[in-house]
Chains A and B, each alone.
Chain A
Amino acid sequence: MAARRVDSAPVVIIGAGLHGCSAALQLARRGVPALVLEKNYAGRHASGVNAGGVRTLGRDLAEVPLALASRELWHRIGDLVDDDCGYEQHGQVRVAETGADVAVLRARLDLLAAHGHTHEEWIDAGELRSLVPRLVPSVQGGVIVKDDGAADPYRTTSAFRRKAAALGARFVEGVRVRRVKRDGRQWLVRTDQGDYTAPQLINCAGAWADRIAAQLGEPVPLQAISPMMLVTLAMPHFLDPVVLGTGRPLSFKQRANGTVLIGGGRRAWVDRDAESTELDFRALAEGARMVCELFPHMRAAVVNRGWAGIEAAMPDEIPVIGPSRRHDGIYHAFGFSAHGFQLGPVVGSILADLALQGSTSMPIEPFRIDRFTGR
């Protein structure tokens, strides 16, 4: 039975998360109106509900050049999307609770220096306490990136989407991709609501991206994960930078409205087919204990809500970014392993480079899709 042919476009993007929206924006800026297919609505999962960290701090070495380039885009994010995205640049600091943490962070700085990176700096205990006065005095120092920050994830994803649409990109929400296959010189994208065709296809399908890749003969060991977040009721202002843990996972920040966001990557139970998650309160309790140890006044903070978005993690915890190794006209960007938000702006630009020029000046070799299977 021939499915209804609905539409075609020069580029079809699967997934309207931040990376898909960013790719659509960068293509539109260069005059190419992409069509974005989204099974729910833009920013429904990880892009809309992550911790909002805009962080170059602690990146995998392979990601550092991309993160630094993306940071340049974040610093003038309003010029890019006509919205400040709630971006605030108060720095991010990773604190050392123990001597072992200090050693880990010192080694990290040495490694970065060996590769010529100077964006991360040591901050001693005294300076750290003046920057974060409520921090428990036993903290021994940390590593800081002063011009890192944080933004509002849903607002950011919406802003990218809106600006892309204003420049000609089209978004179709509530459409689920079933099948992707070659159709002459075109790629045929079969959905639950008809067929779409395009000569080029970008896979930004997040926690579901492995299914697209598998249909293209490029299986990847993707794991759907669901990092949990808690948010408190508004508290009097006490914190500017985002505080991260070293030996224990934590991401901790106070937003402009006074609420405090607690994350760090502890995972909910997730069923990606049902798009359902169940928060693991025992694991959240571990995070709560850590917060109460680092910030004793937080014991009285009132936890108001908890949630978890669904996203993709790769075994080596760095994403897949780049062209298909088997087909022309196919590009992948997924598997950001719980730290893709900051990379959103630059990844859109990389994908537009690849789709329009066939190459990019950014070093994306480490993110090859076939790195898990041998070449």
Chain B
Amino acid sequence: MMDTTKCELLVIGAGPAGLAAAAAAAQAGLDVMLLDEQAAPGGQIYRAVTTTPVTDRRVLGDDYWHGATLVQPFLQSGARYQPQATVWAVSRMTAAAPDDGFEVAYSVAGEARMLVARHLLLATGAQERPFPIPGWTLPGVMTAGAAQILLKSGGLVSSGRTVLAGCGPLLYLLAWQYLNAGARIDALLETAPAGQWLRALPHAPGFLASGYLGKGLKLLRKVRAAVPVTRAVADLRALGGERLEGVRYTAGGKARELPTDYLLLHQGVVPNVNLARAIGVEHAWNDALDCWEPVTDAWGGTSVAGVGMAGDGAGIAGALAAEHRGRLAALQAAHLLGRLSAGQRDRAAAGPRAALARAVRGRAFFDALYRAPRAYLRPVGDTIVCRCEEVTADQVRQTVKLGCTGPNQMKSFLRCGMGPCQGRFCGLTVSELIAEEQGMHPKDVGYYRLRFPTKPLTLGELAALPQTDASRQAVVRLKK
């Protein structure tokens, strides 16, 4: 029997934003449901915080274990929770009863379900920015985030020669956690160009006033004491035939080669836009972070009425900010659904708003310091851009020269972005390449039109959706 359930607020994603939002909304008296893809709460940053086999707290660090403080209040809040649930469609206009709100289709263990929600809160988080270098599709190359998932959920680290490369706080955090876990790191290759810190300097006061400095320095010192770090690494490529055998790069004007079994790549995180875009939420380009992010108001409200967003999916600001943004978005949902007056909402928001301001202090410094170098955003030659359809940078560039003006036409020409990742691995790169070839800004190039299903599902799952009179009549109507 199909389980079609109803709720007032549906929260999608059980990272810091989703957990805090669901708990706050339930506390405000809303009937809340939370759907999450993972088996246990925590999202990516606090993945498996209640289930990880890595019990030595020093390995993953205090910032990770902070996540546990969000899980208990959530579990006790009265919000309903469905783990291992993949949302693949949201509809309004075609819903059986559009006045009741959004109809959300999701699957749990291969079984499709429907849920009706008056209000949606997307807390779908971030994904790693694509890092298209020659050889990045070789077995043995993975992202730092993927390596971190293995560590958190399985207690696994790479066994063999390991090189980390790229930029961004997560790269150093993973190095630190790897070292804590006793794993081997042969080299850390920093791709930030020489002098990048100068560009970050104007933002230093905010950073100095934040809590990051002490923690960050400790972490950096430990990594640099244990791992050879090479700075301003250019022309990075992964080498190998059947699998990864080494890396080649240029540093200090010299080409170098390093044999390795694993290469862990990372150049920052960007909002995971697929679900929000498919719902029709308006997005804008963030010049400081070189990515798209949804346009939101101070409460996480989007261009689509009844759809709020919180956490890194609404714009990268980090895990601490995410929980406060989640609380703010929950208060707004409670207000819009008639549980809190504007005054009650605003009073309740004072604490989270002040905490949010503290949490984002210093971000501008990070953003400038760890900005991904342009050469790694705009690959050349036969570097793969679209992993699903094996489309190269040159093919994309040539297609622009043939008159292709945007990412959606690019799909039609090259099938770029039409594979199972639905553009997650190539979307930003394609925007950047078209912009470069046309001498335009990426914001004017646009992005893929994303449609449901936002996650692949089997035809059998789809076939199991409930019939309605309207869906049956759709058939009759066509045959007249």
The chain A residues found within 8 Å of chain B, CB to CB, are 41, 43, 48, 154-155, 158, 173, 230, 232-233, 247-249, 262, 265-269, 276, 278-286, 288-289, 291-292, 298-307
Contacts and interface: CB of A to CB of B under 8 A. Distances in A.
B438 to A, nearest CB: 14
Contact of A288 (B406, B420, B422, B462): B462
What does DSSP make chain A's interface, helix, strand, loop or mixed?
Answer: mixed
A279 B91 contact: yes
B405 interface: yes
Contact of B459 (A280, A286, A298, A305): A298
Contacts of A307: 451
Contact of B463 (A155, A268, A299): A299
Contacts of B453: 303-306
Given A233-B420, A281-B89, A304-B419, A292 B94 contact: no
Contacts of A289: 463
Interface in B103-152: 105
Nearest to B418: A305
Given A282-B468, A303-B459, A306-B451, 15 more contacts: A41-B406, A43-B412, A155-B412, A230-B459, A248-B475, A268-B94, A282-B96, A283-B470, A286-B467, A291-B459, A292-B459, A292-B463, A303-B457, A306-B453, A307-B451
A249 B474 CA distance: 10
B474 A247 contact: no
Interface in B259-295: 280
Interface in B408-445: 409, 412-413, 418-420, 422
Nearest to A42: B409
B463 A269 contact: no
B243 to A, nearest CB: 24
B411 to A, nearest CB: 9
Contacts of B422: 304-305
B456 interface: yes
A303 B458 contact: yes
A286 B452 contact: no
B456 A280 contact: no
A291 B458 CA distance: 12
Contact of B478 (A158, A230, A249, A300): A249
22 contacts: A41-B405, A41-B406, A158-B412, A173-B405, A232-B459, A233-B420, A266-B474, A266-B475, A266-B478, A279-B94, A280-B94, A281-B465, A282-B94, A282-B468, A283-B470, A284-B462, A286-B475, A292-B463, A298-B459, A302-B456, A304-B419, A305-B451
Contacts of B208: none
The 7 closest A-B pairs by CB, nearest first: A299-B460, A285-B465, A280-B94, A154-B412, A282-B471, A288-B463, A269-B93
B474 to A, nearest CB: 4
A304 B409 CA distance: 19
A231 B88 CA distance: 15
A342 to B, nearest CB: 19
Contacts of A301: 458-459
Contacts of B353: none
Contacts of A279: 89, 91, 94, 451-452
Contacts of A276: 280
A43 B404 CA distance: 12
A48 B478 contact: no
A303 B420 CA distance: 9
A285 B463 contact: yes
Contacts of B412: 43, 48, 154-155, 158
A42 to B, nearest CB: 9
